[in-house]
Amino acid sequence: AQTVTQSQPEMSVQEAETVTLSCTYDTSESNYYLFWYKQPPSRQMILVIRQEAYKQQNATENRFSVNFQKAAKSFSLKISDSQLGDTAMYFCAFMLLSGNTPLVFGKGTRLSVIA
Amino acid sequence: EPEVTQTPSHQVTQMGQEVILRCVPISNHLYFYWYRQILGQKVEFLVSFYNNEISEKSEIFDDQFSVERPDGSNFTLKIRSTKLEDSAMYFCASGLGGNNEKLFFGSGTQLSVL
- Domain B16-105 is classified in which CATH homologous superfamily? Immunoglobulins (2.60.40.10)
Region at B64 (left for phi over 0; alpha for psi -120 to 50; beta for the rest): alpha
Task: Look up the CATH number of the domain holding residue A108.
Answer: 2.60.40.10
Task: Name the band, by pLDDT with cuts 50, 70 and 90, for residue B16.
Answer: very high
Distance from CA of B5 to the nearest CA of A (A): 11
Tell me which residue range forms the domain holding A39.
3-114
Q: What is the pLDDT of residues A66-93, one digit of tens each?
A: 999 999 999 999 999 999 999 999 999 9
Q: What is the pLDDT of residues B42-71, one digit of tens each?
A: 899 999 998 889 989 999 999 999 999 988
Number of structural domains in chain A: 1
Q: What is the pLDDT of residues A45-58, one digit of tens each?
A: 899 999 999 888 99
Q: Which residue of A has its CA nearest to B89?
A: A43
Interior CA angle at A40 toward A37 and A45, to 5°?
40
Task: Name the band, by pLDDT with cuts 50, 70 and 90, for residue B40.
Answer: confident
CB contact under 8 A, A100 and B95: yes
Q: Which chain A residues touch B104 with a CB distance below 8 Å?
A: 47
CB contact under 8 A, B105 and A45: yes
Q: Which chain A residues touch B41 with a CB distance below 8 Å?
A: 107
Q: What is the pLDDT of residue B100?
A: 55
CB contact under 8 A, B48 and A91: no
Cα separation values, A78 from A8, B62, B112, Å: 14, 39, 35
pLDDT > 90: percent of chain A: 80
